[in-house]
Amino acid sequence: MRIDRYELYDVIASGGMATVHLGRLVGPAGFGRTVAIKRLHPHLATERDFVTMLTDEARVAGRIGHPNIVPTLDVVSSQGELFLVMEYVPGLTLAALLANAAEQRERMPASIACAIMAGVLRGLDAAHEARDEGGRPLEVVHRDVSPQNILVGTDGVARLLDFGIAKAAGRLHTTRDGQLKGKLGYMAPEQLGARTVDRRTDIYAASVVLWEALTGERLFEGDDAATIFGNVMQKKVPPPSARAGDVPVAIDTAVLAGLEREPSRRFSRAREMAAAIEQGAALARVSEIAEWVAQIGERELAERAAMLAGMGRPSPAAGASAPSIDSSEGILTAVGEARSAARSKRRSMWIGAASIALLGAVGFAGLRSLAGFPRNEAGSPASLATNTSPITAAQAPAHAETTTAAIESPPTPTVAPRPLEIEPGPPSSSAPSKTSPAARTGTGARPSTGRARPKSMVCDPPFTIDELGHKHYKVDCL
């Protein structure tokens, strides 16, 4: 599907309100960039509240620039729908990684879990501190921090995404009274109780995520919303080390402080909790996180790579008429065909030139061969070898002599050639002097054959010129 400057491809994530697709920005001169495009579900695309929510997300996320936040690049309205264009980050959500680890009977190492959540908390602090163009605080609260909204890239960096239900000063959409936003198991007590939410609400949710990443278990479970609600409000939370022995005591303290039901007892800023985690545990390096992601998410990452490789290729059903992802492809094909045609033309010209040169060489070789051949007993030139039988120069036509001489070299003479005698031509008053260039190269003296020349033979000039312009010496005039 083409929307403005973008092309929409496979679905890579789906939630209750929207799907996320692989996409590609198609620019001029073959420029392209892979992106992620969020699209509201069809039954919500006409709902004003949900459309406004997507617009709010773009406005809020567009003002936050941080390495641990997935940036929003563009908002596109097309065919009655609104699309949110985000930077594409190769990787998997924390939810997918935890599910894969459980299937493989593994648990995320504490060093990796702490490093991921320290980065997420740094990104949250940047969102909480975001300001508008006039420098006024936006007072952003994400309100949906969960494993599904944390993306861990193959580069080992964790990023927070989906500010769709974020609360911010100046946002266009105002939440309806009594309407819950977020996932129940990660919502703070004040959020469930419809009280005022602030940045400490996000710190609570991040603490729930860290507890689950460290233990590999769900913190607040239940068969229905009422059970989950009751657990959040009343369940006594055990320290993570009670479920995972590799969790340091300092991390227990930080997690339980973030999970305090009373907001005033929690960390006041996300960066304070991030600092406590960084000081309380040996964090995994980025390269170690990247290796773990590649190992645990190998299958999904391979499928994603196949999707990326197939972007822009015509589907089997579409056939040759399917549009290409790159508009320059047709231009490149035409250029290639033109170059091939030019090469063929040049090749033909070279072949023609080589043929002409070869014919000239053949004619020249034939003349030299005839001039230097030894005589047989009858006084005629020696036989020339051909593909069938020997033919003498006296029996063959002039042009046949030239062609035959080119086929085979003349036999090596066994008798030394006789000395040449110079014989002047017939007297003429206009004849040039013997010392002039014309006397040496013109129609005057020719080599003598040492035998009587028939009276009927005219040897001035001693050669003929055929229709091709080739010169052939008369045998009896040599």
Residues with a catalytic annotation lie at 144
Tell me how far CA of residue 284 lies from CA of 42, 119, 287, 327, in angstroms.
42, 12, 8, 44
Residues 364, 372 contacting (CB under 8 angstroms): no
Residue 24: phi, psi to the nearest 5? -145, 130
End-to-end Cα separation, the chain, in angstroms: 88
Q: Are 7 and 24 in contact, with CB atoms under 8 Å apart? A: yes
Token pair, residue 101, equals 């680890």
Cα(153)–Cα(164) distance, integer angstroms: 21
Q: How many Cβ atoms sit within 10 Å of the Cβ of residue 96?
A: 19
Of 333, 332, 188, residue with least CA distance to 267: 188
Contact 205, 146 (CB under 8 A): yes
Task: Give Cα separations from 264 to 155, 196, 204, 258, 324 (angstroms).
Answer: 36, 13, 11, 10, 57
**How far is 99 from 116, CA to CA, in rounded Å?**
16
Report the C-alpha gap between 353 and 225 in whole angstroms.
89
The answer for residues whose C-beta is within 8 angstroms of residue 405's C-beta and 6 or more apart is 362, 365, 366, 369, 370, 384
Helix (H) or strand (E) holding 207: helix 199-215
Question: Smallest Cα–Cα separation from 84: which of 67, 59, 64?
Answer: 59
Pairing of strands 81-87, 72-78: antiparallel
Nearest to 304 by CA among 23, 42, 22: 22
